[in-house]
């Protein structure tokens, strides 16, 4: 049985609470580019990779900011004039870009030389684009015959990987024209050519399907169907043994590859606290952004044990819920307010193992 916890009465959380300071990173707001709906693009992160995030600085520029790097970052990718979707390669040197009728790679090759990948004509309906942790597979998900489906391209040639040309349908309901796209999100495994493909259909729920790129094509793995309870796939644990989802009133851990529910934390039922469907998964902690709606009117970071999801600490942030209406926790310990493009860095005391 999964462990289910609730904050105990008495103190705001029934757990230690500490106020922390934030360091403002940007001198100029991060813009909300069309191809980065919340102003950022995440690369897949492996066990030995440096945490990084791509930040939209306009419709044609992607700044690549690594953990603890000063602003402005020393690396940026110039994008074509008409850019629909962007996927940042795990090498952080290049990105795949989807524009009207074509897909191409911009920047430098992973080895550091010029990109030699030829552009490819592309007319398939595509809602999301992303690399797996190997950097060899470029994944595309969209609609095919009324169902969400996924394909994989060879990152060096942009040709279909053998056995994947027909695409693989995901474990989602049939989609009507009113919900043609849904919200597609990636959750790459940190060590394997496996992608968690999440499709959320508003309040109808979220369907997360695991797909492996094998020698003979795509292999569908376990799936999680959360009907009428949408959630954000926050990411895998660093060893790949499980993954975390953040819903509107709960945080859950499932095992991988079985996708068996192993732990759950429930937020109070009174409605005084609500998550923004955002979380950061680290080796020693899971951080979840929580807003206090009725008391102090401030944002908290709820720190949970990554295995049991028992609450450990509530970090009080100096951010008013009136001034900052939503936040995103990003790799490297960055905190982004997508409405106005403000970016902060969390202090070491929150990010370090204790």
Mind listing the pLDDT tens digit for each residue in 287-319? 999 887 666 678 889 999 999 999 998 898 999
- The predicted pLDDT at position 10 comes to 42
- The predicted pLDDT at position 13 comes to 59
Place of tokens 């001198």: 27
Q: How far apart are CA 43 and CA 242, in angstroms?
A: 19
pLDDT higher than 90, residue 138: yes
CB-based contacts of 74: which residues, under 8 Å, 6+ apart?
Answer: none
- The predicted pLDDT at position 338 comes to 87
Place of tokens 């920047």: 107
Estimate to the nearest angstrom the gap between the alpha carbon of 330 and the chain centroid.
Answer: 8
- The predicted pLDDT at position 296 comes to 66
- The predicted pLDDT at position 256 comes to 98
Q: How far apart are CA 287 and CA 297, in angstroms?
A: 19
- The predicted pLDDT at position 29 comes to 87
pLDDT higher than 90, residue 2: no
pLDDT higher than 50, residue 4: no
pLDDT higher than 70, residue 285: yes
- Please spell the DSSP secondary structure of 53-98, one letter per residue: EEEESSTTEEEEEETTPPSSPSEEEE--SS--EEEE-TTSSEEEEE
pLDDT higher than 90, residue 172: no
Q: What stretches of the chain show up as alpha helix (H) in DSSP?
A: 348-351
* C-alpha count within 13 angstroms, C-beta hemisphere, residue 345: 18
Q: What angle do CA 77, 78, 81 make, to 5 degrees?
A: 145
Other C-beta atoms closer than 10 Å to the C-beta of 81 total 7
Q: Determine the 3-state secondary structure of 178 from DSSP.
A: helix
Q: How far apart are CA 50 and CA 212, in angstroms?
A: 24
- The predicted pLDDT at position 265 comes to 93
Query: Which helix H or strand E contains 224, and what residues bound it?
Result: strand 217-227
Percent of the chain residues past pLDDT 70, beyond the cut:
90
pLDDT higher than 70, residue 95: yes
203 phi and psi angles, rounded to 5 deg: -80, 0
Q: How far apart are CA 143 and CA 179, in angstroms?
A: 11
- The predicted pLDDT at position 276 comes to 77
pLDDT tens column, 320-330:
888 898 899 99
For residues 14-33, give the mean pLDDT.
Answer: 87
- The predicted pLDDT at position 48 comes to 66
- The predicted pLDDT at position 8 comes to 40
- The predicted pLDDT at position 179 comes to 47
For residues 185-190, give the mean pLDDT.
Answer: 96
pLDDT higher than 50, residue 120: yes
pLDDT higher than 60, residue 5: no
- The pairs formed by 273-278 with CB atoms below 8 angstroms and a separation of 24 or more are 274/248, 274/249, 275/246, 275/247, 275/248, 275/249, 275/251, 276/326, 276/327, 276/328, 277/230, 277/231, 277/232, 277/246, 277/247, 277/248, 278/232, 278/234, 278/246, 278/326, 278/327, 278/328, 278/329
Estimate to the nearest angstrom the gap between the alpha carbon of 78 and the chain centroid.
Answer: 22
Q: How far apart are CA 261 and CA 79, in angstroms?
A: 41
* Contact by Cβ (8 Å): 196, 209: yes
Place of tokens 């959380």: 13
* Contact by Cβ (8 Å): 210, 260: no
Of 7-16, 74-83, 218-227, 228-237, give the lowest mean pLDDT range. 7-16
Q: Work out whether the CA dihedral 198, 325, 316, 269 comes out positive or negative.
A: negative
Confidence tier at 267 by pLDDT (50, 70, 90): confident
Q: Determine the 3-state secondary structure of 309 from DSSP.
A: coil
Report CA Rg, the chain: 20
pLDDT higher than 70, residue 178: no
């Amino acid at each position: 049985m999964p462990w289910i916890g609730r904050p105990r009465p008495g103190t705001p959380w029934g757990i230690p609470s500490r106020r922390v300071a934030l360091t403002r990173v940007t001198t100029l707001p991060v813009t909300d580019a069309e191809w980065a709906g919340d102003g950022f693009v995440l690369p897949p992160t492996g066990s030995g990779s440096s945490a990084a995030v791509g930040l939209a600085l306009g419709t044609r520029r992607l700044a690549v900011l690594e953990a603890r790097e000063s602003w402005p970052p020393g690396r940026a990718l110039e994008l074509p004039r008409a850019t629909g979707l962007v996927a940042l390669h795990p090498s952080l040197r290049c990105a795949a870009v989807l524009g009207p009728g074509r897909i191409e790679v911009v920047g430098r090759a992973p080895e550091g030389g010029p990109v030699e990948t030829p552009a490819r004509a592309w007319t398939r309906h595509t809602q999301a684009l992303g690399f797996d942790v190997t950097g060899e597979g470029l994944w595309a998900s969209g609609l095919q015959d009324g169902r969400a489906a996924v394909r994989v391209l060879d990152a060096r040639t942009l040709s279909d990987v053998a056995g994947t040309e027909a695409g693989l349908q995901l474990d989602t309901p049939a989609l009507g024209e009113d919900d043609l796209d849904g919200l597609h999100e990636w959750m790459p495994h940190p060590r394997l050519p496996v992608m968690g493909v999440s499709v959320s259909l508003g309040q109808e729920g979220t369907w997360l399907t695991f797909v492996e790129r094998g020698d003979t094509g795509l292999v569908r793995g376990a799936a999680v169907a959360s009907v009428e309870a949408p959630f954000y796939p926050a990411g895998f644990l660093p060893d790949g043994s499980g993954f975390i989802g953040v819903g509107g009133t709960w945080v859950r851990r499932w095992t991988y590859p079985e996708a068996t529910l192993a732990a759950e934390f429930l937020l109070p039922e009174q409605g005084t606290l609500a998550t923004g469907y955002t979380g950061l998964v680290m080796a020693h902690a899971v951080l979840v952004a929580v807003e206090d709606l009725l008391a102090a009117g401030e944002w908290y970071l709820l720190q949970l044990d990554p295995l049991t999801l028992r609450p450990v600490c509530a970090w009080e942030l100096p951010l008013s819920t009136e001034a900052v209406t939503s936040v995103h926790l990003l790799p490297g310990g960055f905190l982004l307010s997508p409405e106005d493009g403000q970016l902060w860095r969390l202090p070491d005391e929150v990010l370090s193992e204790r």
